[in-house]
Amino acid sequence: MLVVTQFPPFPSPHLKVAYKGIIGACSEEAVLAVYPGCQLDPCETSENAVQAVESHGADRVVIPIENSLGGSFVENYDLINSHQLHIVGEVEVSTKFCLLARPGVKLEQLERVLGHPQALGQTKTFLGNLGVEKDIVIDDPYYAQLILSYKEETDLVIGTAEDHTGVIGSEKAVGLYTLHVVARGIQDGNKGSITRFWILARQMTGPSKRALYSLCEKALKMCIKPLQYL
């Protein structure tokens, strides 16, 4: 995993950082890259994560805003605009996707693959060649748990099909959920995808105004570029 931060990471055992997802989520990797040793505050949605900071339940929120293969997280731009938090930094995380399954399951046995919309969009070529059914899920680690636990907590039928179901995730999920890797580096392109996260706080502390201007300038360029094709 390659991590590039706008500001150097620093130990922060007393800082509580909110993010969308659970243990093993990509957002968690981004949080720990900037705030190693911090108190993690996993939230069900990005909205919940932002509200945690606004309500003083957390000190920072780390939220994805752009992926090099999947494009912008438009819903998160809207979320940021609808709240009064300040952008105090950014972090870029590069992760190579893996296809995970239960121990003993082989690649050719898979009939269905679960993945976040962004993950499915970034692995279209591999999954297309594999010829599997693709199902959109919101949180990959959560569904990795479902494959192991035989639960049917959503309208996606796991049940007796667990031996034919894989999930897109990182190798970190292997140790967390006792899965195994059936294929590595399944993302389109050779270098993996880079996801950019913004760090938000209630007060504008830490970075200089110049650094903040750089962040805003990048956001403006991303907004203007699509207009060139209209």
pLDDT tens figures, 82-127: 998 988 888 998 877 889 888 888 999 999 998 888 788 889 999 9
Residue-wise pLDDT for 24-67, tens only, equals: 777 888 999 889 899 999 898 899 999 999 999 999 999 999 88
pLDDT band, very low/low/confident/very high, at 128 (cuts 50, 70, 90):
very high
5 beta partners: 91
Q: Is the pLDDT of residue 203 over 60?
A: yes
Between the alpha carbon of residue 38 and those of residues 14, 29, 103, 111, 142, the distances in Å are 6, 12, 32, 39, 22
What is the reported pTM?
A: 0.69
